[in-house]
């Protein structure tokens, strides 16, 4: 019975790890200094309020800044199709 409840470990191919690291580095190159600082702080587990206190501004402003940077770079790299204003309104993402 116990054998059925054990979840096998996920093995990630080394090539996928390298590709992910290259993608992160490409994002890093395309982000402004402030955008990267926000991304780093989120990766470290800081909450938006703490990031805003450190960077100046509001938590919502920091969140939007990072979101817009990720959207912009994703489009630049061809990872995501550009969204139209109508699509943003329908999804509630209009900023």
44 belongs to a structural domain: yes
Total domain count, the chain = 1
45 belongs to a structural domain: yes
Residue 20 CB neighbours (<10 A):
11
CA distances from 7 to 4, 11, 91 (A): 8, 12, 35
pTM for this predicted structure:
0.68
Residue 26 has pLDDT above 80, yes or no: yes
For 50, residues 6+ apart whose C-beta sits below 8 A from its C-beta are: 41
1 belongs to a structural domain: no
3 belongs to a structural domain: no
Q: Which pLDDT tens digit goes with each residue over 34-66?
A: 999 999 999 999 999 999 999 999 999 999 999
Q: What is the CATH number of the domain that holds 30?
A: 1.10.10
Which residue range forms the structural domain that includes residue 84? 13-91
């Amino acid at each position: 019975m116990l054998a059925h409840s054990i979840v096998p470990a996920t093995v990630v191919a080394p090539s996928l790890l390298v590709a992910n690291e290259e993608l992160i580095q490409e994002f890093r190159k395309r982000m402004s200094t402030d955008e990267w600082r926000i991304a780093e702080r989120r990766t470290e587990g800081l909450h938006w309020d703490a990031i805003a206190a450190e960077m100046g501004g509001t938590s919502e402003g920091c969140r939007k800044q990072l979101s817009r940077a990720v959207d912009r770079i994703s489009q630049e790299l061809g990872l995501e199709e550009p969204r139209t204003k109508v699509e943003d309104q329908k999804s509630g993402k209009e900023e």
